[in-house]
Chains A and B, each alone.
Chain A
Amino acid sequence: MKTKKKINSNNLLIMITIIMFIVMYAIGCFVYAGKGFAHVQTFLNLFITNAGLICVACGMTCVMLTGGIDISVGSLIAMDCMILAHGMGVQGWPCIPTIILILVIGVIFGLVQGFLIGYLNIQPFITTMAGMFFARGMTAVICTDQLSITQEQNALFYSWANAKIYLPAFLGYTNNKGKVMTPYVRPTVIIALLVVVVIFIVLKYTKFGRSIYAVGGNETSATMMGLNVKRTKLFAYILSSFLCSIGGICYCLNTMSGSVQQAKGFEMDAIASSVIGGTRLTGGVVNVIGSRFGVMINGTINTLVTTNGKLLSSWANIATAALLCFFIILQSVFAYFKNRNN
């Protein structure tokens, strides 16, 4: 009896999230009915535009699970995009090696941050904030202009970016010219969903995944139980930066460009997505599926704002921040009641 009640309160946040998403999307369908909000494609576009965010949020989830945070992700994406754009666009590097380079950079970046946090016990926030400014600065060091990748520069990358994977036709609709529009997704969506599945398996079924949980639950206990806390943290940050690099590639496939200003505030979106999706800020509790809903809510906010057309784009930022604030306060209130009951 008693346990049942507690489980409910634990999952309540995620319930709120899912309901919020459905309500938000329903409002969108209702208000912007004429603008195709109800089409399957609009829903799929949520995934397409947010493929990068899904990857990054997965990494963020792992880091937040240990009780840390990684605010360098936005800048790291900007750096990745810039390297891709500069490497393939200006220098004429081939596609595959450049992508491998990006992934290696991600791992090294995570290695440094993870070492500072795990082994030197420096606050995650300070470390990743330095990382954030470092990566953003490096972006400017590479090039201060806005670069774009064109078909002439790198045909392979271009073809990936424009590839469409069609879904069964019955999900489609007929547009006003009488042509049947078959819904499609981009390869990035497949990558993102793959990442989600892999992370889900890693967190649930591997020793490393469970160690991350244990570290977030109680660091002292984890040490007492013979787990290597420092190494776990190190790998969590490496994973975050690595996934961030994958996210960066997805992001670049969407935008096909690189600039210093790119992906500003992305860390906020990733953190907000995780928190809205039920990740506890103090660590230890996470819901991989919930985080997807977090991303979807984020995407819906953006879509709502852009569909409206009249609203300033900064409304999206404010709404995200407000949502984050709301959920943080909810968490804090829940924790308070839980303590009082105990």
Chain B
Amino acid sequence: MMNGVLTIALNGFRESRRNRVTSVLVVFALILVFSVTVSVEFTFSTFDRVMADFGLGVIGLVTPALALFLSTGLIPREIERRTIFMVVARPVSRSAFVIGRYLGNLFTVGFLLLVMAILFLAQLAIMYATTNFGTGIHAPHLVALYGLALEMVLLTAVAFTFATLSSQFVATLMATCVYFIGHMAEDLFNLAQRTKVVPFKLLGTGLYYLFPNFDRLDFKDRATYLDATPMGELATATAYTAAYTVIMLLIATAIFERRDFK
């Protein structure tokens, strides 16, 4: 099974590399990250904060967009174009197909994140070394990038789950909603605790526990102010992402196992 998963994953990565839309997005993302340097030219003070905030903000915008775009379209497109026939008819289980496709997307988005991260960190280091602006690379920057990687892992799994049961349009809509609700999870929970209307309280609390809490994985603000994140919190965030991702993939494979490919 592992060989099948890896073969499908590597093929998915190759598909993204040859996909023109992905290439355009990659170029766009790199230009955006590079524009951090330009933004500093218009800054009078706190260069380090502007660089970190702008750079991580751009990466935090591009990565989920790419994760959503790639993950929600893939399975509906395979079924619609019937390319899936010649893969699923092979001695490959459907769960291997789903996990392989998921990993293929992860490789793609992960590769892009890695390239953007290297460019961002290089800018911090070069700027510090050549002009003495900013503070160079610090642990909170790396933690923020790690948080973005966790967010990508989880968001891809959520988008994949929706894609196994609906069209690309519906899956994109649903996954985008989950992404934004997940980023407002803490606010929703606090609001639910303050309200006196019981149904709202229950709804807010329910949504908080049901939806993935992307706020837990967001360390960008701490990178801006160079605030340290305790190791325990990082470990919890990692375990939370792993558990939620496994649950999402189990749901995705369970749905996919029952589907008819007409």
Partners in one complex: no
By a beta-carbon cutoff of 8 Å, the part of chain B in contact with chain A is none
